[in-house]
Amino acid sequence: MKAAPETTFIVSAAPQLPIVMIFGPFDPSGSTGLPADAITCAELGCHAISVLSGILVQDTATVENVEPVNPELLDDQARCLLEDMPAHAMKVGPFYTTETVSVLAQITADYNTLPVVVHLQRHPHVPDEDEFDAEETQAALLELVLPQTDLVVTDHTLLQQWQAHGLLPGQTLGQAMDALLDYGANALLVSGVPGDSQQREYLLRDENGQTVRWASHSGEPVMDSDGLLATAITCELARGGDMVQAIDRSLAVTGAMADRSFKPGMGGRIFDRSRS
C-alpha cells in the first residue's frame, strides 16, 4: 500500500501588528482604563499590552475606592512585557503614587525611542483619598515623565483648576499651556477650549508655539472621551503617523464612536466598543 503523499502547508507571514503599551488602572465597569483601552486598540488594528497602575472600585456613576499597585509589581510587569515584545508606542493613564511615577519615568527613559502619550486627568474623590496624595503624584508626573513625552492630552477645566491651586502659574489658558510645555513635552492637546462661537474646540500647541484647532464633537458628552482620544492617537503614532495627522484621524474615530454611545447604568454615557 502506497503511503499518502506529504502535504506541505505554506503559511504566509502576517504583517506585524503595532503593539501599544497601556499604563493605567483596572476599571471594572469597562467604561475607562485598561479593559476599555484594550478593546479600543483592537478595534483600531493594534495589539494592547497592559501595565496596571491601580484597581478601581467603581461603577459608571462614582469611584468608591482606589487601590494603587506597588512600584515593584508595576516595574516587573512592564519590563517583562517589553523584553518579550517590541512595543511601538506607550499611553500613560492615571497613576496614584509618586513611587510608581518614578518607576514609570525610568521605564520611559530606558525606552526613549517610543512615542509616549500622557493623558492628564483629575483624580477621583474617594473616601480613602489619604492613601495617596493626588497633588504630589501629579507634580511628580509633570516633573519626571513630561520631559520624555511626545504629547500630553488634557482638558481645559483641569488646567483652570491647577492654576487655581497653584500647580500651574498664570491665569490664562495660554499661560497654563506654556507652563506645561516648559516641563519638556513636545506637544499639548487641550479639549473643551472655548471657541469663537458656543462650540468648544481642541487646541494643539507644540514646543515651538505653533497651534492647530479642531471643532469638538457636537453630540452628547461621553465618559472618558479624552481617554479614548489619547488611546487612538497612541495607536496612530505606533503606526508611524505624524502628530497632526494622528490627532486628525483620532478625532474622527472619537466622534464616530460617540455617535454610538449608550447609557447602561446610573452614570453618564459610555462608548459602545462592541462593533465597528
Rounded Cα gap, residues 214 and 248, in angstroms: 8
| 195-200 average pLDDT score | 79
- pTM, to two decimals: 0.91
| 101-108 average pLDDT score | 98
Percent over 70 (pLDDT), the chain = 91
pLDDT of residue 12: 45
Q: pLDDT class for 9, splitting at 50, 70, 90?
A: very low
pLDDT of residue 196: 76
pLDDT of residue 219: 80
Give the tens place of pLDDT for each residue, 251-274: 999 999 999 899 999 988 999 887
CATH number given to 19-147+224-258 = 3.40.1190.20
Cell 493626588 sits at which residue? 134
Q: pLDDT class for 52, splitting at 50, 70, 90?
A: very high
Q: Do 264 and 60 form a contact (C-beta atoms < 8 A)?
A: yes
Decide which of 194 and 106 is more confident.
106
Judged by average pLDDT, the poorest of 43-52, 164-173, 235-244, 246-255 is 164-173
pLDDT of residue 6: 57
What residues form DSSP beta bridges with 215?
A: 201
State whether residue 83 is helix, strand or coil.
Answer: coil
Decide which of 276 and 90 is more confident.
90
Q: pLDDT class for 135, splitting at 50, 70, 90?
A: confident
Domain boundaries, the chain: 19-147+224-258
Q: pLDDT class for 190, splitting at 50, 70, 90?
A: very high
DSSP assigned state of 3: P
Q: Which of 269, 236, 274 is nearest to 253 (CA)?
A: 236
Mean pLDDT, the chain, as a whole number? Answer: 90
pLDDT of residue 87: 97
